[in-house]
Chain A
């Protein structure tokens, strides 16, 4: 592998890793703060992709579709939290797993009834469809740089929100000691609803911006969910920083694995997970 190829594959790895981070961050945030194991997290990714396809094929603009889709996703997240998840914060994990596992089926069926079982393509906006040539035959697509940019912006935003704002302080306090925070007059229910909506929005937006490069197809949520769990487990459950490091690691192993060892590429990330767990049974950054 020459240097140029290596650099492009590195860019591919980072881009895939950042996408995984957006998903895993929501998953681990919801778990870390509310204690909910959300197996339906991948379904939000799928719904995002289908929304992007549906709205962009109607409106002709992916940008418009992403903006509209994000608003819809947040509303949907708030509604779902109010109707279902709120009643499961204090229940044990098995109940939560059953609830969210059931939701996966409901979302798949909804998707099938609304939009059918076909595979769809979403076109990249014209402004982002160019490639940057790096050598005479290697080039890197602008859209992927854009995706990485969006992920980085959202990651920074998330960091600032949690570490630098009043809301973030309340979120951290609520995660640390729910009863005490509530006693100090913080409306913990509202905080939870907001955190949940943030998680849902991250997954949905990830699905929307990924739709042009990953296509839109049934069960795409379940596939990505497995990778998310691998990331969360490697990074340490509940740790957003761990999720970032683990996502980049998984992105690199998967991308370079596909190229260097195509025959066993499907197994490599699981081998990585096993290796990390042998070394650090609680993940890299246990909180």
Chain B
């Protein structure tokens, strides 16, 4: 009995030690001169195109700088995260422990991002977020080794309120899906619109990804607000735009929204989308030399047109490449490396941007109007807009 218990406790201790050892940061990694970069992105399912665009962007930025990082060769690793939150921790752990990556680039889905966030905080591995806008990543759960190159969910809508008031829309109805991204987008809208003096007449919502909008559109028609502001994305967004027009609201009550409303859905939405106003940190038609040069180069490398996701991937590549160059490839000195990443200015196709204290882009947000299946830029809705970073304490 005693011996059996002894064996049990000892093996438990060994297993315990082994597993915590694996989780400890800074455990001696296989020292080689190569920088190990891991992609954790969706390569199958609804977001497959986004994952591909991001990877293309990252590779393109690094190739433009000679294909190396701080003079060191790169070894690439890839994991398909399937946009599956329940496998987030497992997939991120695989890259960090098995592949021993120095940098983890990912991902698109906010739920999966929370898994990466956990692994990044526990392991201390550098984590670059090329899309997911979930607030917590650069607010309450921010970390010195976590950087976002995209946006927070409330950033586009933080720029929405003022131009709506400038256009004379004093009373607005807000409508979105009731889920995390919708709530976070509303936070930005509420903040900017009420500060600019607007009144939110009513806040309408339906469960994600329900697309039965009829009852809510009827309600909007009877409320007769000056404008409607919304957050929708993807297939549901195209449906909302079409239903809005079909309900006869298009020409009576102007529709405004976070830029994701019209990203990638203009073909599906057709003429129903004409005249919609959105705010976002990028637009395909942004008329700057930097953007034109980027778009031409991307199209010739990958035989397809870049989108906002490709730009975010590209900026991730730029940030990594500039950061590693600044410390001359010595990424083992984490404090200096993180400092270098923090202080970069990224000359992006979306315009120059810098890192906020909480590691989220401080960027211009553009005002765009849909014209003939194009998000036409008509001005800057907010200059150098930063996320609040509320609750972020870098430890």
With A117-B45, A137-B224, A266-B178 as contacts: A258 and B235 at CB distance below 8 Å:
no
Pairwise interchain contact A119-B236, C-beta atoms closer than 8 A: yes
Q: How far is the CA of A258 from the CA of B178 in the complex (A)?
A: 11
In the bound complex, residues from chain B placing their C-beta under 8 Å from that of A16 are 212
Number of A-B pairs, beta carbon distance below 8 Å: 87
Contacting pair B207 A121 (CB below 8 A)? no
Query: Which A residue sits closest to B46, measured CB to CB?
Result: A117
A139 adjacent to B247 (CB under 8 Å) = yes
Taking the closest CB of chain B, its distance from the CB of A5, in whole angstroms, is: 4
Chain B residues in the interface with A (C-beta under 8 A): 45-46, 178, 202-207, 209-212, 214-216, 218-219, 221-222, 224, 234-236, 238-239, 242, 246-248, 252, 268
* Closest B residue by C-beta to A7: B218
Whether the pair B247, A131 counts as a contact (CB closer than 8 A) is yes
Give the CA-CA distance A8 to B223 in the complex, in Å: 14
Question: Of residues 98 to 125 in A, which have CB atoms within 8 Å of B's CB atoms?
Answer: 117-121
* B218 A12 Cβ-Cβ under 8 A: yes
Tell me whether A137 and B246 are in contact in the complex, defined as CB-CB below 8 angstroms, given that A121-B268, A217-B209, A262-B203 are known contacts. Answer: no
| Contact indicator B205/A8 (Cβ below 8 Å) | no
Q: Can you pick out 9 interface pairs between chain A and chain B where the beta carbons lie within 8 Å of each other?
A: A12-B215, A119-B236, A120-B235, A213-B214, A255-B215, A258-B216, A259-B216, A263-B203, A265-B205
A87 to chain B, nearest CB (A): 34
Q: Are A259 and B215 in contact (CB under 8 A)?
A: yes
Q: Are A144 and B214 neighbours in the complex by a CB distance under 8 Å?
A: yes
| Contact B236 A215, beta carbon cutoff 8 Å | yes
When the two chains form their complex, are residues A119 and B214 in contact, meaning their CB atoms are under 8 A apart?
no
Q: Which residues of B contact A118 (CB under 8 A)?
A: 46, 235
Can you name 7 extra interface pairs (CB under 8 A) apart from A5-B218, A121-B238, A259-B216? A8-B218, A118-B235, A137-B252, A215-B235, A215-B236, A217-B209, A262-B203
Give bound CA distance, A26 to B215, whole Å: 26
Cα–Cα distance between A258 and B216 once the two chains are bound (Å)? 7
User: Once bound together, how far apart are the Cα atoms of A215 and B242, in whole Å?
Assistant: 11
Within 8 Å by CB of B239, from A9, A144, A215, A263, lies A215
A263 to B246, CA, bound (A): 26
Bound-state CA distance A119–B233 (Å) is 11
Chain A residues with CB under 8 Å of B178's CB are 262, 266
Q: Which residues of B contact A2 (CB under 8 A)?
A: 222
Report how far A118 CA is from B264 CA in the complex, Å.
Answer: 13
A141 close to B242 (CB less than 8 A) = no
User: At the interface, yes or no: A72 with Cβ under 8 Å from chain B?
Assistant: no
Shortest distance between the CB of B394 and any CB in chain A (Å): 35
A256–B219 alpha-carbon span in the complex (Å): 10
Q: How many A residues face the partner with a CB closer than 8 A? A: 34
A266 touches B207 (CB 8 A): yes
Contacts of B204 in A (CB 8 A): 258-259, 262
Q: Kindly provide the distance from the CB of B122 to the nearest chain A CB, expressed in whole angstroms.
A: 31
Chain A residues within 8 Å of B268, by CB? 121
Complex Cα distance, B252 from A138, in Å, reads: 11
Please name the residue on chain A nearest to B175 by beta carbon.
Answer: A262
A163 at the interface (CB under 8 A from B): no
The 6 A-B residue pairs whose C-beta atoms are closest, nearest first, are: A119-B235, A5-B222, A215-B211, A259-B219, A255-B215, A262-B205
A1 to B205, alpha carbons, bound, how many Å? 18
CA distance A139 to B178 in the complex (A): 26
A4 to B247, CA, bound (A): 15
Distance in angstroms between the alpha carbons of A256 and B216 in the assembled complex: 10
A59 on the B face (CB < 8 A)? no
Q: How far is the CA of A117 from the CA of B235 in the complex (A)?
A: 11
Which residue of B205, B219, B239 is within 8 Å of A121 (Cβ)? Answer: B239
- Kindly state the separation between the CA atoms of A117 and B44 in the bound complex, as whole angstroms: 9
Q: How far is the CA of A144 from the CA of B217 in the complex (A)?
A: 14
Q: Assess whether A165 is interfacial by the CB under 8 Å rule.
A: no
Which chain B residues border A214 with CB–CB below 8 Å? 211-212
Instruction: Please name all residues of chain A whose beta carbon is closer than 8 Å to the beta carbon of B236 when the two chains form the complex.
Output: 119, 215
Q: In the complex, what residues of A have CB within 8 A of residue B214's CB?
A: 12, 141, 144, 213
Cross-interface CB contact of B234 among A8, A119, A138, A223, cutoff 8 Å: A119
Across-interface contacts of B207 in A (CB, < 8 A)? 265-266
Complex CA gap A263/B186 in Å reads: 13
Q: A129's contact among B219, B234, B246, B248, by CB below 8 Å, is which?
A: B246
